[in-house]
Structure 1
């Protein structure tokens, strides 16, 4: 894989994930307590033995840059030609921010050319899945392709949010529509479409030529899905590679957690009895930053007539968390979280260092880092009261508390103990 350079697009704003993306790029959003979204694609690269990575950032990249330094530098040896370089917008070619996926790569074309790759793998940094990119690169080589696109089977309704492909029996792409209103289904199943996963393998020579041509086209959106791929279908070899899932479950797992509700649903899957995403697979490990914190702790029991009991059921509890006489159910507690006596946390996600005060109650709440919930406060039970606090409430009733939010205390009706 020494002739492969991997470019990861990690500058996404993630506006539909606000307020979780108010202070960070979408790939830097925590997921599953310990991880960041970017950790999944980076783990795929490492497990695929792809060790020459350019991470293109743009929007509020400080959190992501810090995470890369803490979690990922150790796995790459510069003396052996391995690297993971975080590349902010250089504006060497144009004075503008990136205007599309193709433009993001084009504006960094000098950094790519300097590495002299034979093939360039372009990945999105904000999707959650497990995949070995090696067989896809080999497929690309054997077909003599100019572009190979990772392909996922989705429902016709879901396909409206993807680039949709039509292929011939030899996996060559003969049609491509970006986010069509009326997606074209596959010939064998009228309810299914073949969608682009935003995973591309390019022959380097073709990529450089295509990017330069696209950059001079004033009518272009400078996007791979809208412009570069449709423009290459009739003149170059464009192939589709079927998604080969390394998650080892009956159904293929690939998620774009682009909205709060989608993010919450994917997170809650992790605490189910048999989660769709297998985080315990030694065959395909997902790496992350491991903070130097003590093990999680559960304080107080029922001895001596005490009504306090520190419990966590059907939950993920990260290191450094303390459940001190409170109860946690169907929730995810990030590192350093503290749940105090008689407090109740249900169906919620608490990021790092959240403190839940005594006798407080949270239900279906996402709390960003470092927020302190005052004692005897209810959130997630009364939408009108939550809205009056200025908190974000999704269509499904989820409450989101952003980083730095100051929560005013409110008496919990019927508190006991």
Structure 2
């Protein structure tokens, strides 16, 4: 493909509460065995983008470990590859990334040393499938300066946490409001953009010269009347996991057969780093209904309408309903968990009761594991 990829995966987000205290949003576990960033990386690999840069910053340890080898997404070739860029103190700069545009500016040499004419920019917290070749063809046919991938949301959906836009009959964007208090439209930006490489370099350098740092506010919104900015609508599944509620809902969507079929059985595939773990083990007394159980798990109790990630031990007489159990959790005997997200590497004491009464409860316990 005639494009390089940039994945923005460095932002902090307090809407994820305790879940983002030790990992980046792009490293959040999804659907049992994936990470959020796997979807953007897989889409770029499936679109034959050979060269991808991931810009990380906040709590990047887990994300960097996940990206330690590019072979899982088939980027490990002689041409191109997967590059991970973190903030670096240099002679000219001692700042952390101050925004999305500044993150690109601090790694502008990646763009200048590339030869592909176009750039695909995506966020690391989107769950979707997309052929970027079709977006690029649309971008070229419209003779656009920037193409924004957008989606019509249901009328009852709160879109105030997204960029909301309006297009004319020719799909050119006329209005663009970032996280408005009152939305005038239900068409949102998915945080995916296509732009010509030289154009991006020019705009980013201009932003830096004016001490501006945000790609959406200081480029898309500021230049919407000066540049030809078009919208490309997608109709298939797309979700963003930037809040606890949206993260919970997105994972629960994978309990629906049509969503699992779309992501797991229909071409192209979604790829992730593979752990060598045994298949899940169901001991006598285990009762599992409408749930995703990952490899390395040992189930003794009852699991219903839940997603259990890798290496989880569920003790005797446990009841887990409508919950997400993250990686490497030990649940003692006689535990009841309902409407909860249990943080990874937790040890929940026997005879505990956790239930989200007024929303999703996040359970964080760091008890010692005693071997009898």
Q: TM-score of the superposition, structure 2-length normalised?
A: 0.92
Q: In the alignment, what sits opposite 1:114?
A: 113
- Alignment partner for residue 311 of structure 2, among 312, 336, 342? 336
| Residue 216 of structure 2 corresponds to residue 255 of structure 1 | no
Q: Summarize the Cα distance change of 1:70–1:310 in structure 2 as closer, same or farther, 3 Å threshold.
A: farther
Q: Summarize the Cα distance change of 1:53–1:379 in structure 2 as closer, same or farther, 3 Å threshold.
A: same
Q: How far, CA to CA, are the matches of 1:155 and 1:343 in structure 2?
A: 37
Q: In the alignment, what sits opposite 2:231?
A: 240
SS, match of residue 268 in structure 2: coil
Q: What are the residue-to-residue correspondences of 1:135-146 with 2, within 5 Å?
A: 135-146=134-145
Q: In the alignment, what sits opposite 2:181?
A: 181
Unaligned runs of 5+ in 1: 186-192, 246-251, 301-308, 384-394, 410-417
Q: How far, CA to CA, are the matches of 1:68 and 1:264 in structure 2?
A: 24
Q: In the alignment, what sits opposite 1:364?
A: 339
Q: In the alignment, what sits opposite 1:400?
A: 362
| Residue 278 of structure 2 corresponds to residue 294 of structure 1 | yes
Q: Summarize the Cα distance change of 1:210–1:36 in structure 2 as closer, same or farther, 3 Å threshold.
A: same
Compare CA radii of gyration and give the structure with the larger one: 1
CA contact (8 A) 2:70 2:81 kept: no
Instruction: Tell me by how many angstroms 1:18 deviates.
Output: 2.2
CA contact (8 A) 1:164 1:183 kept: yes
CA contact (8 A) 1:10 1:55 kept: yes
Q: Summarize the Cα distance change of 1:5–1:32 in structure 2 as closer, same or farther, 3 Å threshold.
A: same
Instruction: Tell me by how many angstroms 1:207 deviates.
Output: 1.0
CA contact (8 A) 1:363 1:380 kept: yes
Aligned length: 368
| Residue 294 of structure 2 corresponds to residue 318 of structure 1 | yes
CA contact (8 A) 2:347 2:369 kept: no
SS, match of residue 95 in structure 1: coil
Instruction: Tell me by how many angstroms 1:56 deviates.
Output: 0.3
Q: How far, CA to CA, are the matches of 2:66 and 2:333 in structure 1?
A: 32
Q: How far, CA to CA, are the matches of 1:313 and 1:199 in structure 2?
A: 36
Deviation per residue, 1:1-23 (Å, 9 max, x gap): 1x311110011222211211111
Q: How far, CA to CA, are the matches of 2:178 and 2:260 in structure 1?
A: 28
Instruction: Tell me by how many angstroms 1:82 deviates.
Output: 2.7
Q: How far, CA to CA, are the matches of 2:138 and 2:292 in structure 1?
A: 38
Q: How far, CA to CA, are the matches of 1:278 and 1:400 in structure 2?
A: 29
Q: What are the residue-to-residue correspondences of 1:11-410 with 2, within 5 Å?
A: 11-69=10-68, 72=71, 75-79=74-78, 81-92=79-90, 93-155=92-154, 158-185=158-185, 193-218=186-211, 220=212, 222-243=213-234, 245=235, 252-275=236-259, 278-300=262-284, 309-324=285-300, 326-380=301-355, 395-396=358-359, 398-402=360-364, 405-406=366-367
Q: How far, CA to CA, are the matches of 2:352 and 2:181 in structure 1?
A: 45
Q: How far, CA to CA, are the matches of 1:241 and 1:260 in structure 2?
A: 28
Q: How far, CA to CA, are the matches of 2:343 and 2:292 in structure 1?
A: 16
SS, match of residue 94 in structure 2: coil
